[in-house]
Structure 1
Amino acid sequence: MARNKPLETRDKTTVITGAASGMGADVARDIARRGGRVALLDRNEEGLATILASLPGTGHTSHLIDLTDDDAVVAVAADIEASHAHIQALITCAGSSMLGNIDQLTMAEMRWLMDVNLWGTVNITKALIPAMRRESAAHITHLVSIYGLAAPAGRIPYAMSKHAVRGFTESLRHELEGSTVTVGGVYPAGVKTGIILHGRYAAALDPAIAQRAAHAQAKMYRTEPEDAARTIVDATVNRRTRTFIGREARLVDAITRIAPSHYWSAMRKTLREAVDTTTPIKG
């Protein structure tokens, strides 16, 4: 199969979800530094304004949106098309986390995370595909996760949502074969953002135990957000179908291929403290 021609960044628009903070904000900065235009999407109005004001270049826009609201997403896609002549890329960085095991979680809590991580991604992608099809070349990048490769204990809602995003990404890539739009997934192992520390946890979970597990997870993160953003933008520009961020992501990919039924045995010890949401805090 012939390699897809890379995208031209300058004066073309990339839509970024979750752009008010964390990975999305760093991705926006990287694209703007390359001369591209960005449409920033988030539900954090103050954060959007701060990031928009910090970007070099002109032609950038920000859009306040709840990606789980179907009608609002259709409207925001129309707004973006009205403001930007050439939408050649979409990078979905919006997402959250949820701590707790199956006994601690409610169905409502698990549905909430699926709405945010999966349906928000599907919603904005579906809304923007018609505009992207009109471009001579375009690319969709979905941020998946190392937990879209492996499903650890104590992370059922997150692993479910990220495996679903992976499935959506791969099915969509196959559906769009032969069109001008290509699709890829990015699998970060651990980036030093605040997603785990500021994410949600089951209401039944002791907050102190949740913080202990979250900090144990965060201590394993090694990649700087700026480095991850550069990799994500490079993957988008070069229209890659599968990109790993961090040595651990490549390792987990290999382990799950070699031992698809037994990989947890190799991961359990490393993740022991990060997935422990039951052991009481010692006084």
Structure 2
Amino acid sequence: MARMLRLDVRGRTTVITGAASGMGAEVARELDRRGARLALLDRNAEGLAALAVSLTGSGHTTHVIDLTDDDAVSALAGAIEASHPHVQALITCAGSSMLGDIDQLTMAEMRWLMDVNLWGTVNMTKALLPALRREPAAHITHLVSIYGLAAPAGRIPYAMSKYAVRGFTEALRHELEGSEVSVGAIYPAGVKTGIILHGRYAASIDPAVAQRAAQAQAAMYHTEPADAARRIVEATLARRARTMVGREARLVDVLARLTPNGYWRFMRRPLRDAIDTTTPIG
């Protein structure tokens, strides 16, 4: 099998979703340092503006968008192509979390997270695919999660959405095999971005209990966002199909392979406080 052409960021554009904060912002800073042109997407207009001011490169554009709005995403793809004639990479960082067990969550809450994490990813990928196909080499990077490798209790909608993104990524990679566009998945674990602290929780949960669970989860995170961003950017430029970020991701990947029906026995105790959304405070 021939080795794939490595991407060169000079003079070409990477589109980043979820760019206003968290991993999206860190990936944008890393690519900016390498001289890439960027199309930065998010719902948060203020966050996008602040990020744009902090970047040192030129030719960047910002786009306020709801990725679950099909018509808006289709129109945005055309606007990006008009401003960026050479779109060679898409990195999907947009996403949210949701705390709560099956008895606490409503169907509307679970559907909302699936819309954001899965359909937002699918929507932007499909819309930009024609532009990516016009390049001599292009790559799509989807941020999945450690919970796309192993599904914990207390995270049903999040795990559902991330397993679905994983399935979409792998199926799309197989569909595009042999084309100019390669596809890869990133499985981060324990990145200190604050996503869990700013994520949503079931409306039926006491906010203090939800905050306690979120803080317990955040305390388990060890990887610095800048380090994770370097891994994500390098995986994109090298057009890798599968990349683990963080020691925990590598461990869980091996554990889920070795004992697909028993990995929860090993994960239950470390995650005990992070999945407890029922025990009252005090």
Code of the aligned partner of 1:100: G
Give 1:4 shift.
0.8
Which letter maps to 1:125?
T
Partner of 1:196: 196
Amino acid at match of 1:52: A
| Whole-angstrom CA distance in 1 between matches of 2:190 and 2:75 | 34
User: For residue 177 of structure 1, what is the amino acid of its counterpart?
Assistant: E
Aligned pair count? 282
> Runs in 1 of length 4+ with deviation above 3 angstroms?
none
Counterpart CA distance in 2 for 1:41 and 1:184 is: 20
SS of structure 2 residue aligned to 1:151: coil
Structure 1 unmatched runs, 5+ = none
Aligned position for 1:81: 81
> Where does 1:181-192 land on structure 2 (aligned, <5 Å)?
181-192=181-192
Q: Match for 1:208: what amino acid?
A: A
- 1:3 and 2:16 equivalent? no
Task: Quote the Cα distance in structure 1 between the aligned partners of 2:51 and 2:145.
Answer: 24
Q: Deviations over 1:96-143 (max 9, x none)?
A: 000000000000000000000000000000000000000000000000
| AA at the equivalent of 1:176 | L
The answer as to 2:180 corresponding to 1:180 is yes
Once the two structures are superposed, the pairs formed by residues 151-230 of structure 1 within 5 Å of their partners are 151-230=151-230
Aligned to 1:237: 237
Please state how far the C-alpha of 1:2 moved relative to its aligned partner.
2.0
Give 1:260 deviation, angstroms: 0.3
Find the residue that maps to 1:41 and give its secondary structure: strand
Match of 1:98 in 2: 98
In percent, how many aligned pairs have the same letter? 76
Q: Residue 270 of structure 2: SS of its match in structure 1?
A: helix
Quote the Cα distance in structure 2 between the aligned partners of 1:260 and 1:92: 28
The letter for the 2-side match of 1:180 is: E
TM-score under structure 1 normalisation? 0.99
In structure 2, C-alpha distance between the alignment counterparts of 1:248 and 1:43, rounded to whole Å: 30
Matches of 1:100 and 1:2 in 2, distance apart?
46
Give the whole-Å Cα distance in 2 for the aligned partners of 1:149 and 1:40. Answer: 28
Q: Deviations over 1:1-53 (max 9, x none)?
A: 22211101111100000001111011011101101100000000011111111
What CA distance in whole angstroms lies between the structure 2 residues aligned with 1:189 and 1:133? 31
Deviates more, 1:114-123 or 1:4-13: 4-13
Amino acid in the other structure paired with 1:117: N
Query: Structure 1: how far apart are the matches of 2:278 and 2:46?
Result: 36
Give the secondary structure class of the aligned counterpart of 1:179.
coil
> In the alignment, what sits opposite 2:31?
31
CA distance in 1, matches of 2:193, 2:126: 27
Q: Secondary structure at the match of 1:212?
A: helix
Question: Residue 257 of structure 2 aligns to which amino acid in structure 1?
Answer: R
Structure 2 alignment gaps of length 5 or more: none
TM-score, length-scaled by structure 2:
0.99
Q: Distance in 1 between matches of 2:194 and 2:79?
A: 30
